[in-house]
Chains A and B, each alone.
Chain A
């Protein structure tokens, strides 16, 4: 049982990183993209090739994975980001499948027995999960901070303007195309890093594990938690992983088929759209213009928690 919880923590972390990337694309800039599995795949393969074929360090493969995924994001972003809404969604869906098919045709069995990652002489072995949990959640923390800063900066503000109204954004002097592409490339690069970490954990790479379902799961994570809110996206990753390990957790693997999770995702999304379309946590308020000082915020927080307690009593 403990083993499962640890596994969920690892996969929730990997999906949280992917979802932070997807959130940059869909949550901030408002582009409906469905090819995060493709970027995930590129990251995984980059690590596999660098560690196994070239015999280089895992740490070196991290920037390479991010660059490779970002570069592919740039190349496919330039022609496709002219499309909007559903059309962009279909185009990116196709691109995700193309990446997977290219991987399958290059090497149908993928790579296995990839050398382990090591840090200061410590080797990360898949049997010991706690070091992996620490490693992956350290990355989640780093990306959370980086993207939170992005959201609060001028760049993030321009991305939100593009999401809200492209024509108005242009007349405010915002170069819509470039912000769309840079948001797409950033999201893709983060997806690549998630793939890199996944390879470090499983030590095998198979083209079969980067299906369309992965992209859907990542998008679900973002929509479920709350678009444009990095905290909410991490919460969403936990929920999605709990659902996908539900049969094992409840010990009902014989009763509940593995495919049941897809039904639950679908059901969850429908219920969310009906009851709370903004996601569990919704968007951050006061994102760019909080007039309150830090002390006022603190006072406000205590005031609210007092009120909540009073309400219960």
Chain B
């Protein structure tokens, strides 16, 4: 079953077509990889789907709903969470506070989306609500084995742990679909293999994962499906084995062999 589908998705920046007529789809419960050379439009595609940026044309269907052009906060409330290529943590807050932010719309109520009375309750009984949010955030930290860093500032964590914290914050919102933008970038081999086990655990929770990654060993090992982009266009999709032997993909990465 397809949880996410894009139809003829296009994003132009002036004369540059960053994403060109892409039909990208994600199967529920599987790990989908999105690969391609630098500048292929992978992150741009992520940004269109998660609402950070709006597509020029095309449609995005998530779980049967058209989410094209919705603001990012609405899309994340519908169940799409993401991490960023250049880590975007709240660096001056503690690790546990970062995860608490991820729980923003899971616990308590908003003055803008629920009844006003609930918002007033949220204000006057803040400490009760805080305890609940804190407790749930700590559970997520335990899941990611980060609990000993709970009271450290997020900016002071080592790089690999910052990446994991960002995933923890995204998962705290209990998403159906999780986008990871180059989760292994800048990680050492030990951290990368730990990341692989983390992605496995996330899949075990029943969360559908889409990841952009340049580390081919990681991609081939953990992805069930792979989509390849080049110059904004989809050039291939299939299982890792099919992709490995796809002529177009090899050409995109290594260049064409000259015929004599």
Judge whether A237 is part of the interface by a CB distance below 8 angstroms. Answer: no
Per a CB cutoff under 8 Å, which of B92, B119, B173 touches A172?
A: B173
Q: Complex Cα distance A152/B156, Å?
A: 23
Query: Shortest Cβ distance from B240 into chain A, in angstroms?
Result: 28
Q: Complex Cα distance A158/B126, Å?
A: 13
Q: Are A173 and B137 in contact (CB under 8 A)?
A: no
**Contact size class for A?**
20 to 34
Judge whether B52 is part of the interface by a CB distance below 8 angstroms. Answer: yes
Query: Shortest Cβ distance from B89 into chain A, in angstroms?
Result: 7
Q: Complex Cα distance A291/B137, Å?
A: 12
Q: Complex Cα distance A175/B114, Å?
A: 13
Q: Complex Cα distance A286/B133, Å?
A: 14
Neighbouring B residues of A155 by C-beta, 8 Å: 111, 119, 122-123
Per a CB cutoff under 8 Å, which of B107, B111, B134 touches A182?
A: B111
Judge whether B244 is part of the interface by a CB distance below 8 angstroms. Answer: no
Q: Are B123 and A150 in contact (CB under 8 A)?
A: yes
Neighbouring B residues of A168 by C-beta, 8 Å: 84, 88-90, 101
> Which of A158, A164, A168, A178 has the largest count of B CB atoms less than 10 A from its CB?
A168
Q: Complex Cα distance A155/B121, Å?
A: 12
- For B120-151 the 0/1 string (1 means CB < 8 A from A) is 00111011011001100100000000000011
Q: Complex Cα distance A50/B185, Å?
A: 63
Per a CB cutoff under 8 Å, which of A154, A161, A164, A172 touches B76?
A: A172
**Given A152-B127, A152-B130, A164-B90, A288-B97 contact (CB < 8 Å):** yes
**Given A153-B123, A168-B84, A173-B77 contact (CB < 8 Å):** yes
- For A85-105 the 0/1 string (1 means CB < 8 A from B) is 000000000000000000000
Judge whether A289 is part of the interface by a CB distance below 8 angstroms. Answer: yes
Query: Shortest Cβ distance from B8 into chain A, in angstroms?
Result: 25
Judge whether B104 is part of the interface by a CB distance below 8 angstroms. Answer: yes
Q: Are B91 and A164 in contact (CB under 8 A)?
A: yes
Neighbouring A residues of B112 by C-beta, 8 Å: 175, 178
**Given A164-B93, A168-B88, A157-B124 contact (CB < 8 Å):** no
Query: Shortest Cβ distance from A291 into chain B, in angstroms?
Result: 7
Q: Complex Cα distance A160/B111, Å?
A: 17
**19 interchain pairs, CB-CB under 8 A:** A153-B122, A153-B123, A153-B126, A153-B129, A153-B130, A161-B101, A164-B90, A165-B88, A167-B88, A171-B50, A171-B76, A171-B82, A172-B101, A172-B104, A173-B77, A173-B173, A286-B94, A289-B94, A289-B134
Q: Other than the known A161-B90, A165-B90, A288-B100, what 14 A-B pairs have Cβ atoms closer than 8 Å?
A: A149-B123, A154-B107, A167-B52, A168-B90, A170-B51, A172-B73, A172-B76, A173-B104, A173-B173, A174-B105, A287-B97, A288-B134, A289-B94, A289-B137
> Interface of A with B (CB < 8 Å)?
149-150, 152-155, 157-158, 160-161, 164-165, 167-176, 178, 182, 283, 286-289, 291
